[in-house]
A and B are shown apart, each in its own frame.
Chain A
Amino acid sequence: MPTHPGNPPATTRSASMDPLVITAHTLTSAAGTGIAANAEALRSGTSGLRPCDLESVILDTHIGRVPGVEAITLEGALAPFQCRNNQLAELGLRQDGFADAVAAAVERHGADRVAVLLGTSTSGIAATEAAYHRRDPQTGALPPDYDYRHTQNMFSLADFVATRFGLSGPAMVVSTACSSSAKVFADARRYIAAGLCDAAVVGGVDSLCGMTLYGFNALQLVAARPCTPLDRDRAGISIGEAAGFFLLERPSADATGPLLTGHGESSDAHHMSAPHPEGLGAATALQQALVRAGRRGDAIDYVLMHATATPANDGSEARALVRSLGPNPRAVGTKGLTGHTLGAAGAVGVAQALASLDGGFVPPTAGLNTLDPDLGLDARSEAEPRAVQRVLVNAFGFGGNNCSLLLEAAP
């Protein structure tokens, strides 16, 4: 690590990149509303996928639709943010005492010391899609009640969450497709290490919309049946939606819980919508997460894979795992439960990893019937009850954008 005049010496800096504690979290997906329901679905392999019943989308596919999103009404200062993505965010924020935990963090650190770093791929684009259906037939003008800034703009999600909690720390939305809500964990480590904040609300939200369903369909990546990650007969993705939020802080007497100990990020530099066939970028991200945590591959209980269930993605990722961890690594794919939640996928994976650390089980790969022998992985269709200490979580996106995170049980 190079040193720079004016910067603290490397030892101080690496000490300041110590693990962060996840002091609170929440997850809402098609598999459940709140972490208890998601943990139970994870353990039992109970899928939340159903035939596509979105009013605006007519496709022969299954989706991971969260019940109750449409019933959420945003009021007062939050009213301008009303759109499916922020409704789903709000539904998520009401679960698991997360709002109380954020309020307590504000008490401890101050509202301007809590960062808001969130991921999404399509933000509130469903609002824009709906507005296009209501364009003026003569002039083509968008309807006057359409609010671009608070719905479709990429920053809307962070703005919404900050407004809801009265936070004024450093804020941004990361949008790197399906790695978005994993990369914000790495950002939180750097922001806290740089002294920009003392705590961070991280995570991500992505919601069902016509653009992603028809877009992935155009790329011929969407399965008709519920997706079956890692299966010999896997035929593509099922698209889902989810909201996952986490409160990250430095370890202290007040801040205890599971730890984020490692992160790795890389680019494939290969293709916009196809992964590197050998999984080189993915392997780099995974290895960096291990190095930053000071862990060897054999210390990892299992990898919670990105495993979208397209033939190419799962094959490429499996090669990255074998390259980094050795032959036949223990691996889990969970998109059979929730669908591929795109920009929220990293947040979903982290919450699932925390459920397995807390509940003492290696999750099954939901929907797995016949493991693809060419993958060279140890993936199973049943949960394995046992103590779990360390889980690697992968999230990879279009543009060859890769992120791996290492989560560890509370010490």
Chain B
Amino acid sequence: MNAIGLHAVGLLGPGLDDFDSARPILAGDAPLTSREVQVPPPGLLPANERRRTTATIRLALKVAEEATRDADRGQLRSVFASSSGDMDIIDRICDALTRPEPVVSPVQFHNSVHNAPAGNWSIATRNPAPATALSGYNASLAAGLLEAATLQLAEGGDVLLACYDVPSMESFIHVRPIHHPFAVALRLGPVDKAPWRLQLDLGGPATADRCISADLEALRGSNPAARALPLLERLVRGTPGNVTLAAPLGRSLNIRIEP
């Protein structure tokens, strides 16, 4: 595949409030102080819409807003990648369905679709460009990167990738142990004027790279979106590098990074 530009990053995870403030941690110059993740309300949505959002939508929109701060949000195409989608709602609806006379909330139902963050994003940014939502289980980040890169290469312009998963609710924590919310967004575009140039190569089976920092490595396996951490560590180091992520079906995604 041809190279693409990476223009901006959004980030939220335990001890990682946004990409800029997390740079010293990602660079290994400051310790990771893990704490509860606070997801701010989505600033771009009108108040009545904001009230109807879910934790999944708020998580996705937080990093999407951050990565598009300096972009034309009304134009760019978007890819929303998540392993599991809105498990809180699935939990509530499946619970409701066990009642003798099941009642499903209409708002919960329309927010249950995997593309609820994508729909809210297009509404919040009044953006008529195509938006998609996908899953690659634990390799959703690599699947999302390939989707966003092929969109960029096919038509040019900017493409937003947001990758996120909310923690599993109590009844699911044993079957799907995701304990913290985590989200990352990458704004891809033309290689000119991009702070980083990425060369993606879908390779055969290979071991995914670990994080350089032991603290971050402990987070990496905790959420499918946290698989981005080895990539983010290499982005902030300002030197050329390679990182290998797990791709779906046992493949690997090798990313060559050139600042």
Q: A interface, how many residues as a size bin? A: 35 or more
Determine which of B103, B126, B149, B190 lies in contact with A2 in the assembled complex, contact meaning CB atoms within 8 Å: B190
Mark interface residues in B217-256 (1 if CB within 8 Å of A CB, else 0). 0000000000000000000000000000001111100000
- B136 and A397 within 8 A (CB): no
Complex Cα gap A162–B137 (Å): 14
- A146 and B94 within 8 A (CB): no
Residues 103-133 of B contacting A (Cβ, < 8 Å)? 103-106, 109-116, 118-120, 122-123, 125-133
- B155 and A1 within 8 A (CB): yes
Complex Cα gap A190–B4 (Å): 15
Determine which of A129, A148, A189, A398 lies in contact with B115 in the assembled complex, contact meaning CB atoms within 8 Å: A398
Residues 123-159 of B contacting A (Cβ, < 8 Å)? 123, 125-137, 140, 143, 146-147, 149-151, 153-157
Asked if A269 meets B123 with Cβ closer than 8 Å, knowing A172-B135, A218-B103, the reply is yes
Complex Cα gap A301–B132 (Å): 29
Residues 151-185 of A contacting B (Cβ, < 8 Å)? 152-155, 158-159, 162, 167-177, 183
Q: Which residues of B contact A172 (CB under 8 A)?
A: 134-136, 143, 146-147, 248
- A266 and B129 within 8 A (CB): yes
Complex Cα gap A36–B106 (Å): 38
Q: Which residues of B contact A216 (CB under 8 A)?
A: 109
Determine which of B3, B115, B135 lies in contact with A155 in the assembled complex, contact meaning CB atoms within 8 Å: B135
Residues 180-219 of A contacting B (Cβ, < 8 Å)? 183, 187, 189-191, 193-196, 210-211, 214-219
- A5 and B192 within 8 A (CB): yes
* A125 interfacial by beta-carbon distance below 8 Å: yes
- B112 and A215 within 8 A (CB): yes
Complex Cα gap A175–B119 (Å): 12
Distance in Å from the Cβ of B213 to the closest Cβ of chain A?
Answer: 29
Determine which of B5, B94, B176 lies in contact with A129 in the assembled complex, contact meaning CB atoms within 8 Å: B94
Complex Cα gap A116–B250 (Å): 13
* B202 interfacial by beta-carbon distance below 8 Å: yes
Query: Of all chain B residues, which has the CB nearest A59?
Result: B102
- A215 and B135 within 8 A (CB): no
Distance in Å from the Cβ of A124 to the closest Cβ of chain B?
Answer: 12
Distance in Å from the Cβ of B187 to the closest Cβ of chain A?
Answer: 15
Q: Which residues of A contact B110 (CB under 8 A)?
A: 215, 219, 272-273, 398
Of the candidates B95, B119, B174, the one having the most CB atoms from chain A within 10 angstroms of its own CB is B119
- B172 and A171 within 8 A (CB): no
- B134 and A173 within 8 A (CB): yes
Q: Which residues of A contact B249 (CB under 8 A)?
A: 116, 159, 162, 167-169, 171
* A11 interfacial by beta-carbon distance below 8 Å: no
Query: Which among A96-104, A135-143, A364-372 touches the partner chain?
Result: A135-143
Asked if A155 meets B123 with Cβ closer than 8 Å, knowing A172-B147, A266-B129, A269-B128, the reply is no
Mark interface residues in A53-85 (1 if CB within 8 Å of B CB, else 0). 000100000000000000000000000000000
- A399 and B122 within 8 A (CB): yes
Number of cross-chain contacts by CB at 8 Å: 242
- B119 and A272 within 8 A (CB): yes
Asked if A194 meets B149 with Cβ closer than 8 Å, knowing A142-B174, A142-B175, the reply is yes
Distance in Å from the Cβ of A107 to the closest Cβ of chain B?
Answer: 19
Determine which of A1, A13, A218 lies in contact with B109 in the assembled complex, contact meaning CB atoms within 8 Å: A218
Residues 78-112 of B contacting A (Cβ, < 8 Å)? 82-85, 90, 93-98, 102-106, 109-112
Asked if A401 meets B114 with Cβ closer than 8 Å, knowing A132-B97, A153-B83, A267-B131, the reply is no
- A176 and B191 within 8 A (CB): no
Q: Which residues of B contact A189 (CB under 8 A)?
A: 154
Determine which of A6, A190, A267, A270 lies in contact with B129 in the assembled complex, contact meaning CB atoms within 8 Å: A267
Q: Which residues of A contact B176 (CB under 8 A)?
A: 148-149
Q: Which residues of A contact B119 (CB under 8 A)?
A: 267, 272, 398-401
Determine which of A121, A129, A171 lies in contact with B113 in the assembled complex, contact meaning CB atoms within 8 Å: A121
* A7 interfacial by beta-carbon distance below 8 Å: yes
* B33 interfacial by beta-carbon distance below 8 Å: no
- A399 and B154 within 8 A (CB): no
Asked if A149 meets B132 with Cβ closer than 8 Å, knowing A176-B115, A214-B102, the reply is no
Mark interface residues in A242-275 (1 if CB within 8 Å of B CB, else 0). 0000000000000000000000011111111100
Complex Cα gap A401–B133 (Å): 10
Complex Cα gap A269–B129 (Å): 9
- A2 and B154 within 8 A (CB): no
Distance in Å from the Cβ of A40 to the closest Cβ of chain B?
Answer: 33
Distance in Å from the Cβ of B89 to the closest Cβ of chain A?
Answer: 9
Asked if A175 meets B135 with Cβ closer than 8 Å, knowing A5-B192, A218-B103, the reply is yes
Distance in Å from the Cβ of B148 to the closest Cβ of chain A?
Answer: 11
Given contacts A112-B204, A142-B174, A211-B109, 10 further A-B contacts (CB under 8 A): A4-B191, A132-B98, A149-B176, A153-B135, A171-B249, A194-B149, A215-B93, A397-B115, A399-B116, A399-B131
Measuring CB to CB, which residues of chain A are less than 8 angstroms from any residue of chain B?
1-8, 13, 17, 56, 112, 116, 121, 125, 128-129, 131-133, 135, 140-142, 146, 148-149, 152-155, 158-159, 162, 167-177, 183, 187, 189-191, 193-196, 210-211, 214-219, 265-273, 280-281, 284, 397-401
Name the 7 nearest CB pairs between A and B, nearest first: A399-B119, A215-B109, A154-B135, A175-B114, A265-B130, A2-B156, A267-B122
